[in-house]
């Protein structure tokens, strides 16, 4: 598995490259955002992105990467500011890790993100929760969700989602109208051992609402979790669709 590491600090990049190598990863290391964006031409399987880069803001690198690619992105950041992380996740990063962290922890994150984001994996085949046997796309009002191709269309128009956003939408769509608790969602869409702040979930819900063009698609059951319903349709009609 090939990783692109975008990190200007060699004191971090050196040990990281060596450590990841011991776990069998091939690491391409670049020191600037511009080189990182150029480096995606080599089709990395995953990008490790430092937010504090000399030439560009890492968040801009994230935005640019995501504009052209669905490659999984893990932000690595020394910034303590949670707002940066939330923005990064909204821009399409799949996860983040705050410095300092150990190689083992990073490897666990890489594996978790990779399990979630692709059918073509370098790791042992993931045991995905069985999606409903759906030969065709699921229809929910104007929303068309195709689990086989992982495509989402809204009134016939493609809605580009990050892998994690798709997984979240697909999970909520399995049982429209039903409230899924935050913990259920984190355990299923993220990882049973997810230990980060669940602000990540809020960021992804916000991104989905924005991309679906109407916040009413995902309603908040305050203090409990979230449910998916097609705006204008009640839950029953949605479930029957
Ligand atoms: Ca840096």
Q: How far is the CA of 177 from the centre of ligand 1 (A)?
A: 44
Q: Tell me, what's the pLDDT at 96?
A: 86
* Cα–Cα distance, 60 to 48 (Å, whole number): 14
Q: Alpha-carbon distance 106 to 110, whole Å?
A: 6
Return the CATH number at 10. Answer: 3.40.50.2300
The per-residue pLDDT for 133 is: 44
Spacing, Cα 222 to ligand 1 middle (Å): 38
pTM score, whole prediction: 0.52
Cis amide bond preceding 221, omega within 30 = no
Domain match, 142 and 214 both: yes
Residues 92 and 31 in one domain: yes
- Sorting pLDDT into bands at 50, 70 and 90, what band is 54? very high
Same-domain check for residues 55 and 157: no
Among 83, 118, 153, the domain-final residue is 118
Rounded to the nearest angstrom, the distance between the alpha carbon of 123 and the centre of ligand 1 is 29
Lowest mean pLDDT among 55-64, 89-98, 133-142, 156-165: 133-142
Structure confidence at residue 232 (pLDDT): 75
- The domain containing residue 94 runs over which residues? 2-118
Q: How many A from CA of 228 to the centre of ligand 1?
A: 39
Same domain, 158 and 92: no
State the distance from the centre of ligand 1 to the C-alpha of 175, rounded, in angstroms.
43
Secondary-structure percent of the chain, ordered helix, strand, coil, rounded to 5: 40, 20, 40
At 71-105, the pLDDT tens digits run 899 998 876 667 777 788 888 888 888 877 788 88
109 and 150 assigned to the same domain: no
- For the record, the structure tokens of 18 come out as 């060596």
Residues whose Cβ atom is located within 5 A of ion ligand 1: 8-9, 50, 52
Query: Which helix (H) or strand (E) is 158 found in, with range?
Result: strand 157-158
Per-residue pLDDT at 155: 92
């Amino acid at each position: 598995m090939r990783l692109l590491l975008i990190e200007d600090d060699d004191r971090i990049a050196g040990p990281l490259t060596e450590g990841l190598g011991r776990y069998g990863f091939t690491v391409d290391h670049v020191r600037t955002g511009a080189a990182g964006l150029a480096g995606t031409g080599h089709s990395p399987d995953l990008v490790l992105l430092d937010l504090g880069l000399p030439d560009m803001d890492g968040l801009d690198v994230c935005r640019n990467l995501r504009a052209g690619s669905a490659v999984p992105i893990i932000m690595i950041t020394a910034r303590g500011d949670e707002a940066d992380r939330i923005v990064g996740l909204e821009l399409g990063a799949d996860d983040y890790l705050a410095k300092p962290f150990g190689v083992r922890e990073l490897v666990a994150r890489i594996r978790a993100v990779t399990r979630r984001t692709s059918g073509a994996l370098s790791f042992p085949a993931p045991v995905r929760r069985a999606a409903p046997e759906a030969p065709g796309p699921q229809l929910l009002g104007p929303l068309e969700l195709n689990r086989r191709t992982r495509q989402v269309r809204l009134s016939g128009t493609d809605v580009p989602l990050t892998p994690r956003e798709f997984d979240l939408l697909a999970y909520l769509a399995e049982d429209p109208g039903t409230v899924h608790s935050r913990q259920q969602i984190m355990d299923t869409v993220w990882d049973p051992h997810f230990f980060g702040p669940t602000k990540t979930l809020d960021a992804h819900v916000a991104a989905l609402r924005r991309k679906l063009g109407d916040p009413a698609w995902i309603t908040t059951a305050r203090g409990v979790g979230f449910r998916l319903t097609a705006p204008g349709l009640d839950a029953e009609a949605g479930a029957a669709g």
